[in-house]
Amino acid sequence: MNKIEAIIRPEKLDAVKDALAEAGFVGLNAVSVTGRGVQRGVIQQARGAPPVVVDMLHKVKIEVVVKEGDTEKVIDTITKAARTGNIGDGKIFVSTVADVIRIRTGERGTTAV
Amino acid sequence: MNKIEAIIRPEKLDAVKDALAEAGFVGLNAVSVTGRGVQRGVIQQARGAPPVVVDMLHKVKIEVVVKEGDTEKVIDTITKAARTGNIGDGKIFVSTVADVIRIRTGERGTTAV
Amino acid sequence: MNKIEAIIRPEKLDAVKDALAEAGFVGLNAVSVTGRGVQRGVIQQARGAPPVVVDMLHKVKIEVVVKEGDTEKVIDTITKAARTGNIGDGKIFVSTVADVIRIRTGERGTTAV
Amino acid sequence: MRQAILLRLRKRFLMNTGDTAWVLASSALVLLMTPGLAFFYGGMVRRKNVSATIMHSFMAIAIVGVVWVLWGYSLAFGPTIGGFIGNLDWIGLKDVGTQPGPYAATIPHQAFMIFQAMFAIITPALITGAFAERMKFSAFVIFIVLWLTLVYAPIAHWVWAYNADGTASGWLGKLGALDFAGGTVVHINAGFAALAAAWLVFGRRKGYGTEPMLPHNVPFIVLGAGLLWFGWFGFNAGSALSAGERATSAFVVTNTAAAAAVLGWLAIEWVHRKKPSVVGAASGAVAGLVAITPASGFVGPIPSIIIGLGAGIICYLAVQLVVRLRIDDSLAVWGVHGIGGVWGALATGLFAGIGITVWARPEGISVIQQLGLQVVGVAASAGWSFVVTLIILLALKYTIGVRVTEAEEEVGLDLSQHREESYTEV
Amino acid sequence: MRQAILLRLRKRFLMNTGDTAWVLASSALVLLMTPGLAFFYGGMVRRKNVSATIMHSFMAIAIVGVVWVLWGYSLAFGPTIGGFIGNLDWIGLKDVGTQPGPYAATIPHQAFMIFQAMFAIITPALITGAFAERMKFSAFVIFIVLWLTLVYAPIAHWVWAYNADGTASGWLGKLGALDFAGGTVVHINAGFAALAAAWLVFGRRKGYGTEPMLPHNVPFIVLGAGLLWFGWFGFNAGSALSAGERATSAFVVTNTAAAAAVLGWLAIEWVHRKKPSVVGAASGAVAGLVAITPASGFVGPIPSIIIGLGAGIICYLAVQLVVRLRIDDSLAVWGVHGIGGVWGALATGLFAGIGITVWARPEGISVIQQLGLQVVGVAASAGWSFVVTLIILLALKYTIGVRVTEAEEEVGLDLSQHREESYTEV
Amino acid sequence: MRQAILLRLRKRFLMNTGDTAWVLASSALVLLMTPGLAFFYGGMVRRKNVSATIMHSFMAIAIVGVVWVLWGYSLAFGPTIGGFIGNLDWIGLKDVGTQPGPYAATIPHQAFMIFQAMFAIITPALITGAFAERMKFSAFVIFIVLWLTLVYAPIAHWVWAYNADGTASGWLGKLGALDFAGGTVVHINAGFAALAAAWLVFGRRKGYGTEPMLPHNVPFIVLGAGLLWFGWFGFNAGSALSAGERATSAFVVTNTAAAAAVLGWLAIEWVHRKKPSVVGAASGAVAGLVAITPASGFVGPIPSIIIGLGAGIICYLAVQLVVRLRIDDSLAVWGVHGIGGVWGALATGLFAGIGITVWARPEGISVIQQLGLQVVGVAASAGWSFVVTLIILLALKYTIGVRVTEAEEEVGLDLSQHREESYTEV
Ligand SMILES: Nc1ncnc2c1ncn2[C@@H]1O[C@H](COP(=O)(O)OP(=O)(O)O)[C@@H](O)[C@H]1O
Ligand SMILES: Nc1ncnc2c1ncn2[C@@H]1O[C@H](COP(=O)(O)OP(=O)(O)O)[C@@H](O)[C@H]1O
Ligand SMILES: Nc1ncnc2c1ncn2[C@@H]1O[C@H](COP(=O)(O)OP(=O)(O)O)[C@@H](O)[C@H]1O
C-alpha cells in the first residue's frame, strides 16, 4: 500500500476532495500546514514593522492511503484538481505503507484501506 | 524502526495517550486533522444555507515511532484504547523509518527512539 | 529520495528554516503539533482544577523531502539550528519517499524535489 | 429675582441634561451595534472571509459617518420636498446647531442628528450579510454611498421627517404609519435590499449547497449578538429622545421581546432540527430585537412577549424558506431583518397601546385601519428599497462589477480584497 | 403662575431625567455583564465546550428575561408575604407602570424593575461555572426556571423588598443587614448554589486531576473580565437609583477595589506559583468587584482598597482550598463569588461609614452588632441557597438527569448538546 | 416657601443629575477603552505574546487604579506648586468628596476624579505598544508606577489643573494652550514616551525586518478599535463635564473625524500598498480619534472632517517614517498617538471656533498666536515625556533590566512571563 501526501493550495481542497470521491477514493485526511517552495512569498507589512517577504505560505496537506495499484490514479486525480499552472501549486510525495489497521474491526492490510 | 500513524476520534486522545504511556511508550506527537472515511458525515446547516453533509470530520492523528519489535504492541494498545465499535473509529498506518536522530544529543538509530 | 521529519521547539522554527535556506534547501512544510517525549511536561493549573502535569507540549514538525544524497546535510543543518542542549529539543525521523510529483508541471522524481 | 428663576427654569425645561445624557449615551450604544454586527456576521463566515466581512461593517461607519454629515442628514431630515425627501438646506450641517431643534425640544439638534447618524450607519451594514463572501470591495464602497443617498435618506424622510412646527412632514409619517425606532426605515429596508442583492444580482456562492459553510467562530457570533442586544437599548429606548417614561417602557419591552424570541427560535429549532443551537439563540435574539423595534414605544410587556415569541418562530421559518428557494442570502438578512421587520410593523398595528400608559393610540383609528396603515408602510419601504437597490446594484454590476472573480472567491476575500489574513498559522 | 412653577417643580422632583438616564444606562451595563460572563467562562473551558458554556449565560438572559416579567419580579419585590416572599399582585407586571414606584421616587417603577431584572439574569448565570463542561442542556433550562423562582426570588425579597411606604419589608432588610448592590443576593447566593452543585450533585469532570483542563482562550477571559468590570459600574453605582453623590461614591470604590484586588491576587500568586498570570489578574478583578458589591454605597476609597486587596488574597486561597478538597467547582464560582461575597459582607459591617460622607451608619448600632447582622445575612442567604439548590438539583438528577453521558462529555457539550462546533478546522 | 424652592433650586443648579449621569457613563466608557486597547494591541502581536500584551493594559488599570487614588490625583489636580505639579493635600483623596469640586460645578468632585483616573489609566497603556513582545513584566510594573508619578501627573497638571477659584493653575493652561480632552496630556505624552522607549532603550525585536510579525488575529484588532471608538465618546464628550451643547458638539466631531480618518488612511494605503487593509481601517480610526481629541470641544463638523482626513494621511506617513528609520516602535504608538496628537494640537490652533457656536475663541488671540501656544504645549509635553521616560527606563535598564532574555523572547512572553499559553492546541 502507498501513502500519497499532497501539498496543495488551501482553496483547492474542496476540488481535490470532490475529485477523489468521484474517482472512488473516499478515505483521506487533511491538515493545515505552512510551506515554502519555489513560490516566492508575498511581501507583508505589520503596522509598525518593515515589509518582509513572508516565505511560509498557508497550504493544506492531504494524505491518502491506497492500494499499490491505485497510486497513479490518485496522483492523477489530485494533480488535475489542484493545478492552476502557477507557481505554488504544490507537490505530491509517495511512500510505502507497510500495514493498515481499521481500528473499529481490527481488520488489517488492503481490506482495511 | 516503524512509524505508527493512528487517526482517532479527538475525544479518545487522552485515553490513547495514557494507554501508550502505561505500555511504556512515552514519545509521540499529535495533530488535529480533518478526515473522511466510511463514516458518513453529519448534516449541518449554516444559518443562511441549505443543509450539507459535512464529510470532513475532526480527528486527531498521533504519530509514534518505535522499534520494529514494539510495533504490534503499540498497534494493540492504540486499537484497544481508541475503539468504540462505531463507524469513525479511525485507522492506523504503519511505515518504515530509516533513521531516528535525537536533536539534543545527536544519537541515532534505535537508541534515539 | 528521503523525507526528513523534524520535531522541534516552536521558537526554533525561524532559525531552522533560515539555516535550511542557507544550506540550499528551500522546500519544506511545517505544522504545529503537540508532543510528548523524555521532556517532563510543565505543571499547569486551571483556575478551578488541581495542578496537572501537562505532558503534551507544543512543538513544530517540519518536513523536508530531499534527494538521498542530501539527507545527512539536512539532518546536520536542522540539528545545529534546533539544538539548545536541554531536554525537549526534539527528534528527527528519516524515511524513504518513493516518488515526488510537482503538481504544476507534472514532473516526477528527483527533478521535482 | 423671580424673573431670573423663571428664566433659568425655562432654559432648563428647554434643554434637559438628563435627556441629553441619555440620547448621547444611546448614540454611543447604537454606534457600538455596528462593530457588534461585524462580529455577528464575521463569526458566521468562513475563515478566509472574516476580516473582509468585518470590514464591510467598519466601512459603513466610516463612509456613512462622513456622508451623513455632508448631505445625508439634510436629505433625510431637512425641510421636506413634497414629503418625499429633504432639501439641501442643512448640507454640511448648516443650521444644525447645538440648540434644541425641531426634532426634540430638550436636547441639542446635533444630538438628534448624531443619534440618527448611527441608524444610518447600521442599516447598510445589515445588508452586507446578503452578499457576504463574494462582494468586491471597491464596488462596495460606491454602493454604500449611493444606497445611503438614494434608498436610506428617502425612506427615513417618509417616516420620520418633521416640519419646524413639529408636525410630520414625510408622507408615511403624515399618513399615520407607526414606526417607533426603525422597523421600516432600518430593518424592512435592509432586509428587502438584501433580498434584491442575493436573489437578483449576486447569485450563489461557489460551493453553495455542496460545501459546508459553517460559522468559523461561534463565540464571535454570540459576542456580536451580545453587543447588539446591549446597543439596542440605545436604539429603541433612545428613540424616545428623552429619559423618562417612554424610554423606560421601550427599554423594558426591548429586553423582554428579545428574550422571548430566543425561546421562540430555540423551541421551533429543537423540534425541527432536534437540537437547539447557540447560533440559533443568537439569531433568535436579533429577530426579537428587530420585531420589537417599531413597536417599542407603543406596547407594554405582555404584547412584547407575544411579539418576541412570534419573531423567533416566524423568522426561523422565513430563513428556511429562503434556503428552500435556494436564494443565497448568505447570512439570512431577509429572513431576520426583512420578515422580522414586517412582523414587527404589523404587530405594532395590532398591539399598539396595549399594556402601556405613557402613550395612547390616536383616537378614531381602529385596529384594522392601523393595520392598513402599517401595510402601506411596509409595502412602501420594502418596495422602494427592493427596486432602487436593484437598480443601483445592476448599474454597478454592468459597469465595474460587484462580484469578485471565482479565483478570488476561492482564495477568500481577506487575501484577495485586502491582502491580509485574519489569523496567522503556527 | 407660582402654582404652575411649583407643580412643574414637583413633577421634576418626582421624576428626574438624570436619574432615569443613569438607571437605564446602568441596566444596559448590567445586561452586558452576562455576555461578559459568557466570555469569562467560555475562555476558561476546553475547546469542545465553548459554545455550550457561552450558551448557559445566554439562556439565563433569555429565560430570566421572560420569567422575571411574568412572575419573578412580583415574587421578589411585590407586596410581602410575611417578609419572606412577594405575593403575585404584580404578576405579568400588573401595576408596575412607568410612574415612580415604591422603590425609587425619581425614576419610573419599570426602570427599577428592569434594572433588577439584570441582576436576576446574571445570578444564575454565575452558577453555571460550577457544572461547566458536564451539564445537560435540557435539565439546565428547567433548573434555571426553578432556581430563579425558589432561590433567587425569596433571597432578593428578604434583602431588598420594601413596603409601599418606603420601609423595608423583607426580613433581612428589616433586621438591618447591609447589602448595597447584591453581595448576598447575587454573589453569596450564586456561590453557595455552585458549591452545592459541584460538591454534592455533579461530581468531578472526567479527567479531573489527571488531564489538563487549561483555558482554551485567555484573551476571551480578559474580554469577559473587561466587560464585567465595565458593566459592574452599572451594577454598583446604578444601585444608588439616582445620579448623584451616592452613585459617584459607589462608582469610585468599585473601580478602586477591583484594581486593588488584581494586585492582591497577583501578589499572592507571584509568591505561590512563581509567576503572576493573566487569568489570575482577571480573576482578581472579579473577586474585587464581588467583594465591594455589598459595601459599595457604604464605604469610601481607602476602605475599598483594603476590601479589594483582601478579596484578591482571600479568594485566591479559597480557590486553592476547593481544589485541595477535590471539589470540582470547575470555574471556581464558590471561591470567587461565594467567599468573595462573604468577605465583602463582613467587610461592609466593619468599614461601613468610613471615608464616605453621603451616608452615615445607622445610629446606635455598634460595629460588632453590625457584624452580627452581616453574619445573619450571610448565613441566611448561603444556607437557603445551598439547601434549596441542592433539593432542586437532586430532584432533577433523579428524574431527567443533570449530567450528560460519559460519551457526550468526552465528545464535548458543543457537539452533544447543540450539534455545532465552536470553531471550524482548516 | 419661596425660600425653600430657591434652596432646592440652588442645590439642583449646583448638583445636576444629568451632568453626573453623563460623566459617570463617560467614566465607564473611558475605562472600557483600556480593555479595548488590550485587544487592539493583542490582535497585532504574535500568538506567543498575546496574553502578555493584553496584560500590559490590564495592569495599567489595576496599578493606576490604585495609585491614582493614593497620590496620583493629588499630584495632578491638587493645589498647585508653582504651576508645575500638585501638592499632596489630596493624598488618599483627602478632601476629595462627593460635593461639587473646583473642577466642575454640577457634578461631585469624585466624579471628576474618577473620570480623570480613566485617562491616567489608558495613557501608560498606550505606551506599551512600543515595547510589545519584549518587555520584562516585573520591570513593567515598576515602570508604570514611576511613569505615572513623574511624567503623567506633571503634564496633566500643567494643562488641566485649576485653582479653587476656577482659574487655570497649571502653567500651560494659564498660558492659553488649548487641549480639550487630552491631545497633549494623553496622546503626545504617550507617543513620545513610546519613541524614547523604542528608539533609545529597547532596541529591535529579534527577527525585526527579517521575520514576518503579522497580526495574529485581525478581528481582535477591530474589536479593540470598535471598543476604543465607543469609549472615545466618553473621552471627548465626557470632557465637557456636563450633558449639554458642548458635550454634544464634542460627540459629533469625534465621530466625524474618526470616520474621515478611516477614509484618509485607506485612501493613501490604497495608493501606496495597492490594497486597503482592515488593520489600516482600524488604525485610521484610532488616528482620527487621537487627532480630534484636543480639538473636540473647540471645532464644528466641517473642520473635524479636515482634521480626520489629515490624521489618516499624516499618521500613515509617520508610521512609514518610523519603519524607514528602523525604529522598532512595534505597534506604531509614536506614529499614531504622538504624531496624531501633534497634528491635532496644531489643528486645534488653526480651526478652534470654526463651525461651533457653544464656544468662542478667546478674544485678542490671533490664529498665529494660538498656533504658537499650541506649539509650546506640544513641545513641552513631548519634551518632558521623552526625557523623563528615557531617564526612568534607562535607570531600570541598568538595574533590574527592562528586556527579557533572548531565549524568553523566542519562547514568547506568555510562557516566559506568565507561564500560560493564550490558546490551547488540539
Ligand atoms: N522539498 C520539499 N519538502 C517538503 N515540502 C515541500 C518541498 N518543496 C515544496 N514543498 C511544499 O510544497 C509547497 C508548494 O511548493 P512550490 O515549490 O511553491 O510549488 P511549485 O512546485 O508549484 O512551484 C510548498 O509551500 C511546501 O509546502
Ligand atoms: N484511505 C485513507 N487514507 C487516509 N486516511 C484515511 C483513509 N481512510 C480513513 N482515513 C482516516 O480515518 C478516519 C476514520 O475513517 P473511517 O472510515 O470513518 O473509520 P472506520 O474505519 O472506523 O469506519 C477518517 O476520518 C480519515 O481521517
Ligand atoms: N517515539 C516518538 N515518536 C514520535 N514523536 C516523538 C517520539 N519521541 C519524541 N517525539 C517528539 O519529540 C519531541 C521532543 O522529544 P523529547 O524526548 O522531549 O526531546 P529530547 O530527546 O531532546 O529530550 C516530543 O515532544 C515529541 O513530539
Q: What is the pLDDT of residues A19-42, one digit of tens each?
A: 999 999 999 999 999 999 877 778
Q: What is the pTM of this model?
A: 0.97
Q: How far is CA D82 from each of CA A20, D86, D154, rounded to the nearest angstrom?
A: 64, 9, 11
Residue E285 alpha carbon to ligand 3 centre in Å: 39
Checking if the pLDDT of D301 tops 50, the result is: yes
Checking if the pLDDT of C39 tops 80, the result is: no
Does E25 contact chain D (CB < 8 Å)? Answer: yes
SS3 assignment, position E66: helix
Q: F14 pLDDT band (50/70/90 cuts)? A: confident
Q: Which residues of chain B have pLDDT under 50?
A: none
Residue that has been written with the C-alpha cell 385601519 in this structure: D369
C-alpha cell belonging to residue F396: 531600570
Checking if the pLDDT of C102 tops 90, the result is: yes
- The span from the first CA to the last CA of chain B, in angstroms, equals 8
A29 contacts on B by Cβ (under 8 Å):
7, 33-36, 59, 61
Over its C-alpha atoms, chain E yields an Rg (Å, rounded) of 21
Residue C72 CB partners (closer than 8 Å, separation 6+): none
Q: Nearest CA of chain D to the CA of E89: how many Å?
A: 15
Residue of the nearest CA to atom 25 in ligand 1? Answer: A35
pLDDT digits over C60-74, tens only? 999 999 999 999 999
SS3 assignment, position E164: coil
pLDDT digits over D220-239, tens only? 999 999 999 999 999 999 99
**Best residue of E5, E48, E227, E230 to probe chain F, by most F CBs closer than 10 Å:** E230
Distance between CA atoms of residues A26 and A74, nearest Å: 11
F420 contacts on C by Cβ (under 8 Å):
44
Give the other-Cβ count within 10 Å of F320's Cβ.
17
Checking if the pLDDT of D10 tops 70, the result is: no
Amino acid type, D28: A
Q: Nearest CA of chain A to the CA of F328: how many Å?
A: 7
Domains of chain F: residue spans and CATH? 15-416 (1.10.3430.10)
For D364, counting Cβ atoms within 10 Å of its Cβ (0-12 exposed, 13-18 middle, 19+ buried), the class is exposed
What pLDDT, on a 0 to 100 scale, did the predictor assign at position D166?
A: 87
C33 contacts on D by Cβ (under 8 Å):
none
* F74 vs A44, residue with greater confidence: F74
SS3 assignment, position E370: helix
User: Does ligand 3 lie within 6 Å of residue B86's CB atom?
Assistant: no
Across the interface, do B79 and A106 touch by the CB < 8 Å criterion? yes
User: Does ligand 3 lie within 6 Å of residue C31's CB atom?
Assistant: no
Phi and psi at residue E233, in whole multiples of 5°?
Answer: -60, -40
A65 contacts on B by Cβ (under 8 Å):
91, 93
CA nearest C2: which of C69, C61, C62, C60? C69
Atom of ligand 2 lying closest to residue A104 CA? 22
Checking if the pLDDT of F1 tops 50, the result is: no
Nearest CB among F207, F420, F425 relative to C34 is that of: F425
Distance between CA atoms of residues F212 and A54, nearest Å: 6
Does F35 contact chain E (CB < 8 Å)? Answer: yes
User: Does ligand 3 lie within 6 Å of residue B31's CB atom?
Assistant: no
What pLDDT, on a 0 to 100 scale, did the predictor assign at position D1?
A: 41
What is the residue-averaged pLDDT of chain F? 96
What pLDDT, on a 0 to 100 scale, did the predictor assign at position A46?
A: 87
Q: What is the mean pLDDT of residues C4-19?
A: 96
C-alpha cell belonging to residue D309: 415569541
Q: D421 pLDDT band (50/70/90 cuts)? A: very high
What pLDDT, on a 0 to 100 scale, did the predictor assign at position F216?
A: 97
Q: Which residues of chain E have pLDDT under 70?
A: 1-13, 426
Enumerate residues 21 to 40 of chain B having a beta carbon within 8 A of any beta carbon in chain C. 21, 26-31
Q: Could you tell me if B77 and B19 are in contact, meaning their C-beta atoms sit under 8 angstroms apart?
A: yes
Nearest CB among B47, B52, B54 relative to D209 is that of: B52
Checking if the pLDDT of C44 tops 90, the result is: no
What pLDDT, on a 0 to 100 scale, did the predictor assign at position E11?
A: 52
What pLDDT, on a 0 to 100 scale, did the predictor assign at position D3?
A: 52
* D123 vs F101, residue with greater confidence: D123
Q: Could you tell me if D296 and D254 are in contact, meaning their C-beta atoms sit under 8 angstroms apart?
A: yes
Classify the C-alpha dihedral C73-C76-C80-C83 as positive or negative. Answer: positive
Q: C46 pLDDT band (50/70/90 cuts)? A: confident
Q: Could you tell me if F251 and D24 are in contact, meaning their C-beta atoms sit under 8 angstroms apart?
A: yes
Phi and psi at residue E249, in whole multiples of 5°?
Answer: -60, -45
Atom of ligand 2 lying closest to residue B56 CA? 25
CA nearest F155: which of F113, F183, F125? F183
**Cα atoms found within 13 Å of the Cα of residue D297, Cβ hemisphere only:** 22
Checking if the pLDDT of A89 tops 60, the result is: yes
- The span from the first CA to the last CA of chain A, in angstroms, equals 8
Distance between CA atoms of residues D54 and D128, nearest Å: 10
User: Does ligand 3 lie within 6 Å of residue C82's CB atom?
Assistant: no
Distance between CA atoms of residues D194 and B33, nearest Å: 36
C-alpha cell belonging to residue E316: 485566591
B58 contacts on E by Cβ (under 8 Å):
421, 425
